[in-house]
């Protein structure tokens, strides 16, 4: 990635519960590493809040590259 490219990582964490309900947390980060840390934090908060009702967790992220033009 060149100096002119800026990557914003959009991410979401989806938790599906035993009863079929779900909760969705999402955000954007300045790097893949930061996104992974924030997704892990959200996972821990979901597991703490909903404990044994979580049936499945799904993680998704994508890097969106924006090119900035400097004169």
pLDDT digits (tens, 9 = 90+) for 26-55: 999 999 899 999 999 999 999 999 887 999
Q: Quote the pLDDT of residue 5.
A: 58
pLDDT of residue 68: 58
Cα distance between residue 22 and residue 36, in whole Å: 21
For β-strands 5-17 and 54-67, DSSP reports them as antiparallel
Is residue 71 predicted with pLDDT exceeding 70? no
Q: Indicate the number of domains in the chain.
A: 1
Per-residue pLDDT tens over the stretch 3-31: 445 789 999 999 999 999 999 999 999 99
- H-helix segments, 1-71: 32-50
For 25, the domain range is: 5-67
| pLDDT range class, residue 69, cuts 50, 70, 90 | very low
**CA–CA gap between residue 41 and residue 1 (Å, rounded):** 27
- Average pLDDT of the chain is 85
């Amino acid at each position: 990635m060149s100096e002119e490219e800026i990557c914003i990582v959009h991410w979401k964490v989806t938790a599906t519960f035993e009863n079929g309900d779900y909760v969705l947390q999402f955000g954007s980060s300045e790097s893949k590493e930061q996104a992974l840390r924030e997704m892990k934090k959200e996972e821990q908060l979901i597991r703490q809040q909903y404990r044994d009702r979580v049936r499945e967790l799904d993680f998704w992220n994508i890097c969106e590259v924006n090119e900035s033009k400097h004169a």
